Chain A
Amino acid sequence: MIRFGLRLALANGREALLRFVVIAVAVALGTGLLLATTAGVRALDAQVGRGAWLRGQQAPGGPAADPVVWAGREDFFGGKSIWRIDVGLKGANPPAVPGIPRLPAPGQYYVSPALHDLIATHPADQLAARFPGHEAGIIDENALESPDSLVAVIGRTPGEVGGIPRAHEVTAVSTSPQKIPTAAMDLVLSVVAGGLLFPLLVFVGTATRLSATRREQRFAAMRLIGATPRQVTQLAAVESGAAAVAGTIAGFALFPALRAAMAAVPLTTERFFPADLSPGLPIAVLVALGVPLGAIAAAALAMRRVRISPLGVARQVTPKPPRAWRLIPVVAGLVELAYFVGRKPETSSGQTAAFLPGFLITMVGLVIAGPWITMVGARLMARHARRLPTLVAARRLADNPQAAFRAISGVMLALFVVSVATGVITTMHFERGVRYGDLAAVTLEQHLGPEGTLPDDVSDRLRHVQGVTFALVLHDNPDDGPASPSSIVACADLARIPQYGTCAPGAEYAQIWSNLVGFDRTRTGTGTATVWPTAPVTAAQVTALPLDSVVVGLDGSAAAHERARTAMGLAYPDYEVPALTDLERGSNSRTQMALFQRLADVIMLFSLPIAGCSLAVSVAAGIADRKRPFSLLRLTGVPLRALRRVVALESAVPLLAVAVLAAVTGFAAAQLFLRAQMGYTLAAPDWSYYALAGLGLAVSLAIIAATLPLLSRITGPETARNE
């Protein structure tokens, strides 16, 4: 029976071969994506594991060693984050750490390969000067999260390191991964995998409908001469299983290419090591066996639904008309997002747990609601139809809205994901756009700790750094309420930099934000026009106030930027957070936003062609299945253009309807998220969104149009002849 099934699957003319190839290609892509996704999740775990020691956590029950004072903190160079570890050895037998032979003594440092390259290719006053002493060696890659990791382990005296905030002593460094919240990224990867796999599943499902009528006729003929239902099911399972096996093998062949692509893209802000991108043997075996078995099970299940009797399809389990309850999940998803407006969880993991499920439920809800919306739309269309093609298309859509929706559901999901991502990212750019203006980009601020001190001549020293246009030391504002600017500036100093605003006439000191610009849309100055509120303090009082920060203006060059940061770090070596511009301060969240936008684009660019193929296959299968009634209609005088209109309406109407629905729901979800998380109101997306969405729809409509010539070809008079 297996051989016979293979014979039917492989040597049955163009339609069957096309069906085989389409299923195999879809399964190959799905298998490759499954492997890539699981490899991504494992690589994420591996990344966390490799970098566990960088946090300097005390290992329970580690080998006895002399204590070391450990301080880890972030630094920046050229927009990239550097993880800098200062260590102060308290004995000759320091604890061991991965990747370096021994923790460095004062005057030595170890750096990662990527940081070594940066140091080697930039002047010392921009980067190397931040690390006292000389390079003792390079950290082994096996001890780093990524080939891009910028890490430095710097030896200093215990007293120097002890002055850095969060410095602590360890006698054994833990290499066990912390419970770092990778759940968020796992969930994002799951959404991405879902967004990519769903159109593929739809594609496979649609492909199985190719030549379905002929297949059913063939099975009926076999049943007539005595094939049992079980034999027919076995044949169908062998046909699907063969395509799935071929697809699975091709998917494994495809995986190295996907792995290379994943290793080249910094999905988590840093690239993965290619060796970490492996699904693991158990998962690989599970996929290798599970995908074909799943396909076989699906084929067997489909045969249970459509029992082939000797007289043809005796009992097609006609799906019941969709009911209005199908709207509940999508509404529930939006309600879940709305619930958190004004109730934003405090922690980032809490926010992830709050918002991502809301998006996920809404997304799944759209898929569930789609057939009902298609049916309602079709009934409305039928009620108002004035022409025959519209009526025929509407009736057919209303009779089986599930089938009509299935072919376009991939397009809908892609549009939803892109609408959410675009809505959120566009709004964040809009809301934060003012403070990311030129002024903020060239204002480098070093915030000081509560008891932070600076050398008396720091302003003079900083002013002499090449590329620095001014340097100011700001004091803490004693009237530092939630709405009050954080610092005090002397009006004489502010008068030298009028581009940052002015004092009120007669004022001696003004209240100002420590970056001289502001921190969000509602608390931001508008440059020259800003008149900062007067600070009711005298010169004597200001001198007694604690220091708040040191701020420098830059000429806009990258070299000046890093030279100034290096100089500020040397002036205030106990910093917890390095000198940053506003752009850099939000760089992590922006990097993450860019990542999400990139992932959304990947979903869109991948799923649109797949969804387009589903649509084409679905339209072609629909035409092929009805070639005889269509050809009879043509013989009775129905013009070809009327039939074309029927086919076009059947596909285009639900496509456009669900596209609008997906975009509206996506923007609604984005608005709720923005309101709950940041208090923002959705900003209109820019032209690129409309261009991408319009292009997607245009391509889909073009695909529908491309299938229409098939109608004239296969509905000729010869088709109407009896056998």
Chain B
Amino acid sequence: MSAVIEARDIELSFGETAALRGATFDAGPGEIVAVMGPSGSGKTTLLHCLAGILVPSAGEVRFDGQRIDGLNEHQRSTLRRERFGFVFQFGQLVPELTVEENVALPLLLGGSRRGEALREARRWLDRLGLAGMEGRRSGELSGGQAQRVALARGMINRPRVLFADEPTGSLDSLTGEQVMDLMVAAAREHGTTVVLVTHEPRVAVYADREVIVRDGRVHALAAS
């Protein structure tokens, strides 16, 4: 099975602090991989490098076999918009936009017609149990609702890879489970690869495979 997303020996430092020291990672089509590790181990930095948010100082990152670490800012933005989706812990919804506009944002940025983008957004909202909330603002949502909106936005363009960074970190366990159920179901249905960064073992159990990041290096842990 060829990897959809992979990193080879990547390194990245913030000033004097080395966050990644030759990290290697890969995830296959439709695979859900949990990236675990203690705080400060480099797991979020690894996700940022895989998603083209940060560029490693050494090593290479490939998507569908093509190197993406050499792409320029504009190309990496387009890649994120068209091929990737994101669900983060918080701070990802645009507070000034309504729920449906937030979900439609990747399509709107990609040049889709407004009506078409909003229709697609409503379909995803229905599916994730958020019907009737289209006109609300992010400040009017509960934590679980906000994460489901983020999931809808992350999935609206049917991404090849969904990057989820502590998606249940701000939720209670029950709500967290609901969000994870929906995320896994959506990913499975569309064959989306999921890179799931978490420090919670109960979240990691949703993954097909777990890796652990320690001191900037990735160690295989076990298959779930």
Contacts and interface: CB of A to CB of B under 8 A. Distances in A.
22 contacts: A11-B96, A13-B96, A218-B95, A218-B96, A221-B93, A221-B94, A222-B94, A225-B81, A225-B86, A225-B105, A225-B153, A226-B82, A226-B106, A226-B109, A227-B81, A228-B74, A229-B73, A311-B53, A722-B90, A722-B170, A723-B90, A723-B170
Nearest to A223: B77
A8 B96 CA distance: 7
A311 B82 CA distance: 19
B95 A311 contact: no
A311 B48 contact: yes
Contacts of B94: 218, 221-222
A224 interface: yes
A217 interface: yes
Interface residues of B, number: 34
A299 interface: no
B209 interface: no
B219 interface: no
A225 B170 contact: no
B92 interface: yes
Contacts of B110: 226
A12 B74 contact: no
Contacts of A311: 48, 53-54
Nearest to A235: B109
Given A226-B78, A226-B82, 19 more contacts: A8-B96, A11-B96, A12-B96, A13-B95, A13-B96, A214-B96, A218-B95, A221-B93, A222-B105, A222-B109, A225-B81, A225-B85, A225-B154, A226-B77, A226-B110, A228-B78, A310-B80, A311-B54, A723-B170
Interface of A: 3-4, 8, 11-13, 16, 214, 217-218, 220-231, 309-311, 722-723
Contacts of A13: 95-96
Contact of B74 (A8, A229, A310, A723): A229
A217 B91 contact: yes
Contacts of B114: 3
B207 interface: no
A226 B93 contact: no
Nearest to B143: A723
Given A16-B96, A722-B90, A225 B109 contact: yes
B53 A310 contact: yes
Contacts of B90: 722-723
Q: Helix, strand, loop or mixed for chain A's interface?
A: helix
A223 B94 CA distance: 11
B95 A214 contact: yes
Contacts of A228: 73-74, 77-78
B30 to A, nearest CB: 22
B108 interface: yes
A221 B97 CA distance: 12
B2 to A, nearest CB: 24
A723 B90 CA distance: 6
Contacts of A223: 77
A311 B95 CA distance: 16
B52 to A, nearest CB: 9
B92 A224 contact: yes
A62 B77 CA distance: 73
A239 to B, nearest CB: 11
Nearest to B146: A723
Given A226-B81, A311-B48, A221 B92 contact: yes
A453 to B, nearest CB: 88
A195 B95 CA distance: 39
A48 B95 CA distance: 59
A230 B170 contact: no
Given A229-B73, A229-B74, A224 B80 contact: yes
B75 to A, nearest CB: 9
Contacts of B106: 225-226
B109 A231 contact: yes
A328 B92 CA distance: 48
A222 B97 CA distance: 11
